[in-house]
Chain A
Amino acid sequence: MIKAIPLFFFGLFPFISSFGQKDSVSKDKMMEEVIVTSNRTPTKLGNIAVPVQTISQKTIKQIGSQRLKDILQEQAGLYITNGFGAGVQMQGLNPDYTLILINGEPLVGRTAGVLDINRISIGNIKKIEIVKGPSSSLYGSEAMAGVINIITDNASHKEVEAGIRYGFGNPDKGWSWPAGINAFKNTDLHFKVQNKIGKTGVIISSDAFYIDGLSYRPYSTLRVPQPIWRLTQQLTLNHEINAKANVSLVARCGYDHIKQEFAVTNNGGVSNSYGREANTDINIIPSFNYSFNKNTNTSFKLYHTFYNGSQKLYFSDKPDSIYDDEFKQKLYRLENQTDKVWKNMKLTAGIGITLDQANSTRYDNVSRTKKNTITYGFAQHEWRISKNFLAIGGIRYDHNQLFAAAFSPKIALRYDLSQKLSWIGSIGRGFKAPDFRQLYLNFTNNAAGGYSVLGSIDAVSVITQMQHNGLIADIKDDFYKLSTLTPEFSTGINTGIKYKIDKNWNMEINVFRNDIEGLIDVRQVATKTNGAQIFSYINIRKAFTQGAECNINGAISQNLKISAGYQFLSTADKDELALVKSGKVYTRNSDGTSRLLTLKEYAGLPNRSKHMANLKFTYENQNGFYTTARCIYRSRWYVADSDGNGLYNTNDESAEGFLLFNFSVGKEFKKHWTLYGGMDNISNHQDANYLPNLQGRMIYTGINYKF
């Protein structure tokens, strides 16, 4: 049944498009949407030549959630990964390769490359823009798969908004009221005050979220999700100095407290431990914007972000701390960007300097603070060659203190074949600089067999020293490949069509391919005399991800809207693929005997689904009533190389595909109030091993007051 889903989505396309054509009466008064992320400057949708998705404030509200994760997982082609928090996988690339911005500035504090989007509440979000394909030509490192920009509101009028949302679930007992250890509840309180006094606007918003723990993973007392407190405060100030100049300040502070209580297995022995994880995340963006005239604009930004994550665990039977881990990151950035518009051209250029500093108990003991300075410059030129033809070229140069420089060009073209049909195509280079962890990590996991991971800079000297002390049993071939890490580079091609079927129906198709070189891989480089493995990082792998994405939006009637998305994905490690093709890789039959692996069985990169789809119906009327019904599908993905042949194939351990159904409903009443509620994961799908963060069926209700 699961396999039939993508076909179902495909089968729906002709149906909905013909259905839509019958009804073209609804009015389309919408102003043309403006996108800020794709060109780093406000650009009308008609001048965009790369694949872009936007999520409006209204869409966010109608989903009835206060967490960014819930919104993003319903977007075609985005998958929310589990492990080190919730990361975003885009175009089949790991969460490490998607840049996440708040008002155009990056969030920091990644764990194992993953930026946990659970950290972000959506109380004050005006809009989310998602740009797919490499955008390093504008944003530098990490913008390899794409960019997600969270844009917060500016004060425009006087308003007070407050709300409470309460949700609960009981995955074991289905429908009954929560009771016992496996019931869990979550509560969200939020308020927002905004005012505009003369030329000064101010918004203060605040969000507090609490979720109970839940334990349904077999053999584990670890509660997933763990009991979490999340607090977010945000202040936005903007002041118009005169007609030409304005200043603004956005300050955001997020705080998480995660209570931890679980069994740690140490060499097969089990000890109960308890502790907490706490993360603080601060972003401050003062900016100054000056318009010389209607066509020339310049802005200065001084960005400061600070992330502090710590984890402390204790044995229940021993008072001394067993695990005390701290990670701090600071990033300062000064940047100037100037935009100039001519009749049919627009130039955007900028320069900046970033000071990045990290401190971790997992780095070597000599100096736990590591620094890097990046100086960069970028320019982009947009040229409307003819009425139908638009060309955009951009280039960025990032000079790194610690490793090789990166040079990121990009070209994007758009050709409007008719008023309804446009072709877009782009080719660009993306990169991701090695992070501090990959350079300096010095970590031994005593809680899991004593294996060690060493950053590339010290790995050789540390292992050589250990060898002198007789602690090394065996050196692997990969040890001799250790050298200074270089950035990982990708070349991304995106091409597709935007088709306006009629007033109410739009379709977009995009085909993509990303070729990645020098992918940093964790490899075993040595073995200790006690049998524990030592790993380090090497620029070694070459991989590609390719696929196609299709999105359809439309209105069946004035009140009923539908959107559907589908992504097909195929990935491979190029060396593995070559080995499989040359007949050097074996697998096992179900009876355990070996045979050659066929090309068809090769599954590419792990944790990727071949098919992903989503379907959403939204109904709303003039009386302030709305309801949404959404479904999300993801096909099987591979999680472990269980046949031991060194790569992922269809005989390996995999997680089963799943289908989720969500539903929400809301109604405005007495002008100021909105009462809403809904149910997430209606079919109560659970997969304790591979989707530990997916709660069972959740019912929620909330009320909002706006004055």
Chain B
Amino acid sequence: MKKIAIFFSAATIISFAACKKNDTPVVNADPRAFGVSVNGSIVTVKNLPADTIVGIGAMGPYGVGKYTFFSLGANGLVASTDSASSNWDMAFAGTTVRVNCGTSGPGNGGAFVFNGTFEGLASVPSDSTFKTDNAPAAYAIPKGSGKGWYTYDGPNNLVTATPGKVLVIRTANGKYAKVEILNYYRGGVTPSTTATDSIKSFDSRYYTFRYTYQGNGTTTF
């Protein structure tokens, strides 16, 4: 089995295009750094920053309000200048996940949340309905605790990716992928309930997820 690993340090996220030209895989053991690794048909993305916290104000922690765009077909980030194109499939900011369709982008995307395991989803069920983004009223991947992919524990101020939720994505180009969000915190580990609010805020909005992309246009994974 051929393994390709491309790693990026957090500092080089912005200069994504430049990194891609580097053919030699960079071995980066930092568990808190952004990285994409491919293992057979499963691609794992670690520490994808999603409008990370830059400060704490009167209304609480805030980011700069920008989405991070990702291409499931190309296994990598897409520059935000390409947001009006079909180059990206999913976009992340805070707990909001958009797909390239409807009010979010020009693509032919769509999505729904499947209850079950990632491995257990062998193909897109034939009776599936893909939803499209219709911000701010509705999103293909519903916003809110317990509605989409996550559970928010208010008193402990923690966001947990709900187990048993698979995001079934139709990409911008009409291909299919299944995505499982694994964690919302930097390093892929949810802070303990007794961690400080500062850790809970500044380590949040870093997605770890895995996916399988079916590039041949069929619905089988």
* A positions within 8 Å CB-CB of B: 217-219, 265, 267-270, 448-449, 451, 474, 524, 527, 530-533, 535, 584-588, 592-596, 639-646, 653, 689
Contact = CB atoms under 8 A, between A and B. Distances in A.
A653 B156 CA distance: 12
Contacts of B192: 640, 642, 653, 689
B30 interface: no
A269 B56 CA distance: 7
A705 to B, nearest CB: 45
A265 B60 CA distance: 11
Contacts of B163: 586-588, 594-595, 643-645
A409 B200 CA distance: 50
Given A587-B163, A594-B180, A640 B153 contact: yes
A449 B196 contact: no
A217 B194 CA distance: 9
A631 B194 CA distance: 28
Contacts of A270: 197-198
Interface hub of B117, B154, B156, B165 (most chain A Cβ within 10 A): B154
Given A594-B164, A644-B161, A449 B154 contact: yes
A524 B193 contact: no
A265 B180 contact: no
B61 to A, nearest CB: 5
Contacts of B158: 642
A535 to B, nearest CB: 8
A611 to B, nearest CB: 24
B150 interface: yes
Interface stretch (B74-82, B85-93, B182-190): B182-190
7 A-B pairs closest in CB distance: A586-B164, A644-B160, A267-B60, A592-B182, A586-B163, A644-B151, A533-B154
29 contacts: A265-B198, A267-B58, A267-B59, A267-B60, A268-B53, A268-B198, A269-B56, A270-B197, A524-B145, A524-B154, A530-B59, A530-B60, A533-B154, A586-B162, A588-B163, A592-B183, A593-B117, A593-B118, A593-B210, A594-B118, A595-B163, A641-B160, A642-B158, A644-B162, A644-B163, A645-B162, A645-B163, A645-B164, A653-B192
Interface hub of A535, A596, A642 (most chain B Cβ within 10 A): A642
B201 interface: yes
A217 B196 CA distance: 11
Nearest to A594: B163
A532 B152 CA distance: 11
Interface residues on B, range: 35 or more
Contacts of B210: 593
B167 to A, nearest CB: 12
Nearest to B95: A531
Interface hub of A474, A592, A640 (most chain B Cβ within 10 A): A592
B40 interface: no
A451 B152 CA distance: 12
Contact of B180 (A217, A474, A593): A593
A639 B194 CA distance: 11
B97 to A, nearest CB: 16
Contacts of B118: 593-594
A592 B153 contact: no
B180 A268 contact: no
Nearest to A263: B196
Contacts of B161: 644
B117 A586 contact: yes
Contacts of A267: 56-61, 197
A596 B193 contact: no
A596 B153 contact: no
Contact of B194 (A269, A592, A596, A689): A689
A241 to B, nearest CB: 56
A110 B56 CA distance: 35
A267 to B, nearest CB: 4
Nearest to B147: A474
B196 A643 contact: no
B188 A653 contact: no
B60 A449 contact: yes
B132 interface: no
B195 A219 contact: yes
B206 to A, nearest CB: 13
A585 B163 CA distance: 8
